[in-house]
Structure 1
Amino acid sequence: MTTPTRSTAIPSVRYRDAHAAIDWLIRAFGFQKNAVYTNADNTVAHAQLTLGEGGMVMLGSVDGASEYGKLMVQPDEIGLRETTGIYLLVPDADATYSAAKNAGAEMVLDIRDMDYGGRSFTCRDLEGHLWSIGTYDPWHHEA
């Protein structure tokens, strides 16, 4: 049995309604629940969603009171801008595009073939975070 490759860089996102975000990310992008830990008030303290062999995103509820939470803002608090992006490598960008669109994603960069290879699109999730999704595999490209 081989051990799947695991990413050593895992993005983390905060949501006002983390439970709804988990359900949405599963519907829109095909994530699977790996772990969900809730607080006494039913907010999400920490969740892990997996995608494919080695992909993962961690998320939690917005918490403006914690030391780390005070460092974070939501996209709608800064004009729907982001200071970082999340890229998901998928086997079929067109199928994921359809699923994301059906889940209500706002398409901000429509699906297209990229000059450097692969097919890609960028959308906003239910709380405005940007996600780029495509078939370009940076681990297997020719320089």
Structure 2
Amino acid sequence: MNEIAKNTRATIIPCLRYRNAPAAIDWLCEAFGFERRLVVPNDNGGVLHAQLVFGNGMIMLASADNESEYGDLVNLPDQVGGVETQSPYLVVADPDAVFARVKAAGAQIVVEIKDEEYGGRGFTCRDIEGRLWSIGSYDPWVETTPR
């Protein structure tokens, strides 16, 4: 492992902001299968800090605000015309099952489920606040041979 990175489960953890973080946490757990590891409420009924785990990966999230140093640096999708500059990718065993669950939870599908030329099968959707997510069986840690 790179000497700069700490020897831990995941060395890159996406951090996201949501206007209604409690609802987003519920939705992410129901639709994608995240599990709550830690949720710290704030004084306004929102979330100061949350950690959701997915396999050996994690995201951290909080309620959107403009009152903190970090909060001033983050825009939400609806503030920038729905365009994202990054999006999390979830590696799953059964993308078709996750696709069905995500559709049932009301996600906006922006790229239909399909087999990828570089391997794996996946799709892209927006969550309840418009954040972009890609989900698929492609595992970049495993060598694959393109079709």
TM superposition score normalised by structure 2: 0.91
How far has the Cα of 1:65 moved from its partner? 1.2
Structure 1 residues not aligned, in runs of 5+: none
Deviations 1:48-70 (A, max 9, x none): 01111x11111000011111100
Amino acid of the structure 1 residue aligned with 2:33: G
Matched, 1:13 2:40: no
User: Which of 71, 79, 82 is equivalent to 1:80?
Assistant: 82
Match for residue 122 of structure 2?
120
Deviations 1:40-99 (A, max 9, x none): 2221000001111x1111100001111110001010111100011110001100000001
Other-structure match for 1:103 = 105
- Please give the per-residue CA displacement for 1:72-127, whole angstroms capped at 9, x wherever unaligned: 10101111000111100011000000010000000000000000000010000000
Alpha-carbon distance in 1 for matches of 2:58, 2:69: 24
1:93 to 95, 101, 115: 95
Corresponding residue number in structure 1 for 2:49: 46
Identity over aligned pairs, percent: 55
Give the drift of 1:142: 3.3
Q: State the TM-score, normalized to the length of structure 1.
A: 0.94
Tell me the matched-pair count.
Answer: 138
Gap regions ≥5 residues in structure 2: 1-7
Deviation beyond 2 Å, 4+ runs, structure 1: none
Letter matched to residue 49 of structure 1: L
Amino acid at match of 1:83: T
Provide the C-alpha distance between the structure 2 equivalents of 1:83 and 1:46, rounded to a whole number of angstroms: 22
Decide whether the 8 Å contact of 2:119 with 2:144 is kept in 1.
no
* Pair 1:27-2:50 in alignment: no
Partner Cα separation in structure 2 for residue 75 and residue 111 of structure 1: 22
